[in-house]
Amino acid sequence: MLFSPTHRLETAYRALKEYEIQPVLIAFLQHSENVTFRVEAPGETFLLRLHSPRTKAFGQENSDSRVIESELLWLEALRREDLPVPPPIPNKAGKYVSQAGGINLTLLGWQEGELMTRDAESPETAAQIGTLVGRLHAHARQWTPPAGFLRPLRDASYFQSALAALLPAVQDGRIAPGDYQTLQTSLGFLQEETQSLPRTPQTWGLLHGDLHRGNFLLDEGKIRLIDFSMCAFGHFFYDLATCLSNIRQPFHPIFLQNYTQFMPLPEGYERLLEGYFVASYIATFSLWVEDAQSQEAFVQRVSYIAREYAARFNRDERFWFT
């Protein structure tokens, strides 16, 4: 749903009546998978989310309050283990999901820090991120979700659907047929190889689902993790590949050294990570294909990823692990 500036602000004010806070400032942030606002209250700051994606590709799960509540239940569990993630804020009725104007909404505690940038990367940040992602996956490995917990899957069907979503761009010329075929071949190889990867607590569980650089904050030298709105069940390699693609390659060994202090990696993990890197871009492209704001990047990146990475993966050539 697209909101006019007036409509989205009115909805935000109605939404906040569900909570025991007295807002003094509401500032619009962005609209992607959610409409988000920074909310200032006396002595406190919050993040308000209206669960209405900018396009259908950003997710239809937001219409189901059980799916949204499950994200916040996981955040609550992670907070109990002292992971640096946003705290979910219950409403006056003690629930994590409220409604305003027929839209689901949630409130989170604000996380201080600056968005990670490439210039801010260092061996220390790579080590911290490796430790944080390792702790996150180790928690998912041992945590038993409560009854009714519901989050989407990042399985073979998901990636095939993401690839199929790109076909209109082949038909209208935004994607070259050869590039589409290259991506399709990569996905086929990856799915063949993951069939032999058992779904055990060591390999499969709850993922953050969107571990790009912009979801890590740097606060006085400490790394925090935000935006769990795309969390899902899948192979941990999906999270790892997305994360590594946002860390400079010379820092990959540092990240993995710290990650494996909490989560082991099976033999042959290098090719699986590179395959999931290609798959993660296919998933991203499926979000961009109908998004008017992303078209320039979409056209350029599809060709680049297909020719520079997917083609090498199809030839069984390493591009991260040389």
Q: What is the spatial distance between Cα 166 and Cα 181, in angstroms, rounded to a whole number?
A: 11
- Lowest pLDDT segment from 132-136, 241-245, 280-284, 293-297: 293-297
E strands in the chain: 25-31, 35-41, 44-50, 88-89, 98-100, 103-109, 114-115, 153-154, 204-207, 216-219, 222-225, 232-235
**Structural tokens at position 122:** 């260092």
Pick among 3.40.30.10, 3.40.640.10, 3.40.50.980, 3.30.200.20: CATH of 12-110: 3.30.200.20
CA distance readout (Å), 251 to 99, 127, 217: 43, 8, 18
315: pLDDT strictly greater than 90: yes
1: pLDDT strictly greater than 70: no
> What's the average model confidence in pLDDT over 103-108?
95
224: pLDDT strictly greater than 70: yes
Residue 159: predicted pLDDT = 97
What class has domain 118-314? Answer: alpha beta
Helices (DSSP H) in 64-150: which residue ranges?
Answer: 65-80, 123-142
Q: Does residue 143 contact residue 136 with C-beta atoms inside 8 Å?
A: no
10: pLDDT strictly greater than 80: yes
Tell me the DSSP string of 238-263: HHHHHHHTTS-GGGHHHHHHHHTTTS
pTM of the model: 0.93
The confidence band for 62, taking pLDDT boundaries of 50, 70 and 90, is low
Residue 59: predicted pLDDT = 63
Beta bridge partners of 25: 40
Q: What is the mean pLDDT of the chain?
A: 93
Domain boundaries defined on the chain: 12-110, 118-314
Q: Select the more confidently predicted residue: 240 or 195.
A: 240
Q: Does residue 150 contact residue 70 with C-beta atoms inside 8 Å?
A: yes
**Structural tokens at position 84:** 């640096």
Residue 266: predicted pLDDT = 87
Q: Does residue 279 contact residue 159 with C-beta atoms inside 8 Å?
A: yes
Only one residue has tokens 């907070």, namely 79
57: pLDDT strictly greater than 70: no
70: pLDDT strictly greater than 90: yes
Answer whether 12-110 and 118-314 agree in fold.
no
Q: What is the spatial distance between Cα 29 and Cα 142, in angstroms, rounded to a whole number?
A: 35
Would the CA dihedral through 113, 118, 122, 128 be positive or negative? positive
DSSP state, 84? Answer: S
The confidence band for 61, taking pLDDT boundaries of 50, 70 and 90, is low
